Chains A and B, each alone.
Chain A
Amino acid sequence: MKVLVIEDERKVVDYLRSGLSEQGWIVDVAMDGEEGAWMATEYDFDVIVLDVMLPKLDGFGVLRAVRARKDTPVIMLTARDRVDDRVHGLRDGADDYLTKPFSFLELVERLRALTRRARAQESTLITVGDLQVDLISRRAMRDGVRLDLTAKEFQLLSVLARRRGEILSKTLITELVWDVNFESNANVVETAIKRLRAKLDGPYAAKLLHTIRGMGYVLEVREDGGPA
């Protein structure tokens, strides 16, 4: 998957380049609008990350130039959280937007959604270590013992299991489990994770559900097996 990042802030470019590369993306960078528009029309990318404020040609100009020739999905980064910007961008053919400051995890999530990149093999029976999650019968077994989970706890587990090995932010979990798309100051996710963890990992030595401080949660088998 090839992504073109059109952004003039050096530090942003640096972390996006290394972060996205580590996630398996092939990253090309343009540091101004003209170069960006040229690269976007001249080469083929799977998705474009486009900043609004750019030297030489602003993001909207780049977007128009791209849309005149191509249908590459574009996600816009806007510093101004104004509806004008959004309407402006979406009308000109942007596919999504993120308001700065945004979280890297969220950007990755949006990029995936835009490219409809195949997730880890979608099957109805997911295995993580000695955990088995059956999405059809909505049952979870660990080491042959069925876990007694509430509906929400199972939903949370299945979301984590489907994306095992991926760090899921609280925002994303809120959205996938509760269909709530705003950031809440309620510690709903923390509570749910705490409860799930008690049932999932409580009695077992090998922990599967790990907290990545400041980022989110991941379900995976770890070599050390200890608590994260």
Chain B
Amino acid sequence: MMMKRSISLRLSAMFAAVSLVVFTLTGSGLFILMRRQLFDELRETLDTRARIAALIVGHAPTVQKWSFVQEKLRDLSPADSRMHYFVESPDPRFSFGEPIVGTVRGSVGSNHLLMREPGRNYDVILTNYVVPAAGERPQVRLVVGTDCERTEQMLRRFGVALAALIFLSTVAVALLSRAVTRFGLAPLTRLSREAAQLSPSNRRQRLRADELPEELHELATSFNGALERLDRAYERLESFNADVAHELRTPVSILIGQTQVALTRDRSMLQLRQTLQSNLEEFERLRVIVNDMLFLSRSDRGERASDLTEVSLRDEVSRMLEFLDMPLEEAQLRVTLDGDATACVNTSLFGRAMSNLLVNAIQHSPPGTSLQVTITPQRGQVEIAVSNPGEPIDPVAREQIFDRFYRLQEARSNSHENHGLGLSIVKAVAEMHGGTVFVRSAHGVNTFGFSVAADGDAARGPSAPDAPRGSRNAMPLRASP
């Protein structure tokens, strides 16, 4: 993916575009105003001249006086011939000047005409006066014109200057805004520099969100939140790796040791068989750990349970109680089962979690006491709790009790049978069903439990696999084949 152009570049381009528009509008307004002003002035001058000329013409009723008129009018026409006087008369003795020939380009006001002479690139403004007859002079028409060459030239220059100014200002705005946005975005640059310095070797490091403007504060805070979560996950992974290594070390060292011992001397068939059998037991233990770890890693990846069926959880719990009937009897424990609810669960996973919870309770209950299993539906979830009398569990331990390889001190002695993943599997199963786990300890009763989403919607996986052929094989998601 192409990277988006820099914010400061985009901002300054936008500023430049906006100022170009604003400058152009202002410049155009200025130009129009200027033009109107100049032409008004021109027309006023023209009108004054025309009135004077009309007065002069009006005061010449005779041919002798007309020669004065001609002289006067000639005097009034300046050398650069910007003003034109033309008197049109039926009597050729009372005429003056040449008629202005050209195409009419429009009118200005009521009595001004715009005309362009051929071969000129500017207009001429004309005005008309009819001077009534007096004495021997007939009625004549006085035409006074002024050409707009200078005005138009001035306007052209003004326009060019204006355009140049607009262009230069736009460039200046672009350059300045680039500097300004850079300055404005300095906190962002600092933030990214800070983020670039974050390194895995110093995981406690965070962005200094407090020093940032409010727009960035939120970003930095959520970024820090993400770092925090990553950090926790990383920490868990680290301790998990250590635990795994520790857990595997025992069977592996037993295997190496006893195999070496067996091979150092000639052994009888029986001795070799015993070594192999002992090896097999260790291998089995390794296999169970590996399979459980694989199972847990699937739930870590957020996998949801599939093959859900709507069942009565009481029936499922009863099934597990029946399964554990003999161990319960051996431990001299009674069980009561309360409540019922239906939920969509993967019965194999649910049974596994249930059996793990019960086994945990069996291991930690004094003989002759009784366990209580309670099924409580609540707000879209169903809670399954197993209570047993036992030593209070301190709050710190309660937080970690569902962690992998966590064992209460008393349980560590028989770690050979109990690899410490039982309760974390309960947690994984709960999470795969959109639920969670909990532990309570009060009044000499410890309660471990988990919940599942009742409708199974939250737990439904992205794809429900087709049932395999043959009913014997219908055990997908088998926890530890």
Contact = CB atoms under 8 A, between A and B. Distances in A.
Q: Bound pair: A and B?
A: yes
Counting chain B CB atoms within 10 Å of each CB, which of A83, A101, A185 scores highest? A185
B445 interface: no
Given A81-B294, A185-B417, A214-B284, A95 B330 contact: no
A192 B330 CA distance: 10
Contacts of A179: 319
A120 interface: no
A185 B478 contact: no
Contacts of B472: 96, 110, 113
A190 to B, nearest CB: 9
A214 B468 contact: no
B146 interface: no
Interface stretch (B11-19, B85-93, B351-359): B351-359
Given A83-B306, A83-B465, A99 B324 contact: no
A191 interface: yes
B422 A185 contact: yes
Interface residues of B, dominant DSSP: helix
Contacts of A185: 355-356, 359, 417-419, 422
B470 A178 contact: no
A83 B419 CA distance: 25
Interface stretch (A7-15, A19-27, A31-39, A86-94): A86-94
Q: Among the interface residues B330, B355, B359, B478, which one has the most CB atoms of the partner chain A within 10 A?
A: B478
Given A83-B461, A188-B324, A213-B281, A183 B479 contact: yes
Contact of B323 (A99, A114, A188): A188
B277 A183 contact: no
Contacts of A81: 291, 294-295, 298
Contacts, number: 121
Interface in A83-131: 83, 86-87, 90-91, 94-96, 98-99, 101-103, 106, 110, 113-114
Given A83-B465, A178-B322, A182-B348, A213 B291 contact: no
Contact of B478 (A90, A114, A181, A188): A181
B291 A183 contact: yes
B256 interface: no
A96 B470 contact: yes
A7 B322 CA distance: 41
B466 interface: yes
Contacts of A188: 323-324, 326-327
B68 interface: no
A83 B476 CA distance: 9
A214 B280 contact: yes
A95 B10 CA distance: 60
Interface string B308-352: 000000000001101111110010000000000000000011011
A180 B323 contact: yes
Contacts of B469: 95
A186 B473 contact: no
B280 A90 contact: no
Contact of A83 (B278, B303, B351): B303
A215 B417 CA distance: 16
Top 6 A-B pairs ranked by shortest CB distance?
A214-B280, A213-B277, A183-B480, A81-B294, A87-B465, A182-B479
Interface of A: 81-83, 86-87, 90-91, 94-96, 98-99, 101-103, 106, 110, 113-114, 152, 171, 174, 178-188, 191-192, 195, 212-215
30 contacts: A81-B291, A83-B461, A83-B465, A90-B466, A90-B468, A91-B465, A91-B466, A95-B469, A101-B290, A103-B287, A106-B481, A113-B470, A113-B473, A114-B470, A171-B481, A174-B323, A180-B351, A182-B348, A182-B351, A182-B480, A185-B356, A185-B417, A186-B355, A188-B323, A191-B326, A191-B327, A192-B326, A195-B326, A213-B277, A214-B280
